Structure 1
């Protein structure tokens, strides 16, 4: 009796352990991208309130520091995923810079999620 393996469209099989590692790295990357993006939007709102509307934003003084820490985590997560997914330097740099442009981290996260999921067939894992 022979067992059928699912068709991979002519692509070589991906080791399940590699799929697991990439999937974990993608999850960490996605969370850090969303947190960084949300904090960056909050930082932009804070800056508008302070410099344009001349409001007292003392209660939001923590936002810049926390965003900075989140951005460092985002850089490490994107480097981790990029290493596992074997991104080019351009792909990694584009991804890294998306953490400093408002809303861009959400767009790049969705794009990288789609690419990595398709490349490593994570929906099958």
Structure 2
């Protein structure tokens, strides 16, 4: 009886740890999805201004690239923890390249992986 209780306690602790890790991964993904989406929108506006009015912000593309790389790392971390397949993972990664898509991806993740 004691062994069963110890085993159940261990399983409960493992489940809590997995829940905490998943919640952290979703929170990181949500933050990076919003940040990547906002920077991508600003980058799109910057490109339009660059080709119509002329002034260029040379470091903005590098900022977007850096943020997108962090977005990819966070997305792969969430995909590993949520046990996503290759297609879903690649879809989430590509969502960071299309203006406004990262916002939809973030909403989709929140609906698919409810966290309290």
Q: Of 61, 73, 78, which aligns to 1:76?
A: 73
Question: Larger helix proportion, structure 1 or 2?
Answer: 2
1:1-125 pair list within 5 angstroms: 15-51=15-51, 53-57=52-56, 60-117=57-114, 122-123=115-116
The root-mean-square deviation of aligned C-alpha atoms, in Å, is: 1.4
Secondary structure, in 3 states, of the residue corresponding to 2:96? helix
Aligned pair count reads 104
Alpha-carbon shift at residue 82 of structure 1 (Å): 0.5
Partner SS state of residue 100, structure 1: coil
Distance 1:50 1:109 in 2: 29
Equivalents in 2 of 1:56, 1:75: separation in Å?
A: 30
Please report the TM-score for the alignment, with normalisation by the length of structure 2. Answer: 0.84
- For structure 2, the residue ranges without an aligned partner over 5 or more in a row are 1-11
After TM superposition, the runs of 4+ consecutive aligned structure 1 residues lying more than 6 A away are: none
2-structure distance, mates of 1:30, 1:65: 22
With structure 1 as the length reference, what TM-score do the two structures score? 0.78
Any unmatched runs of 5+ in structure 1? 1-12
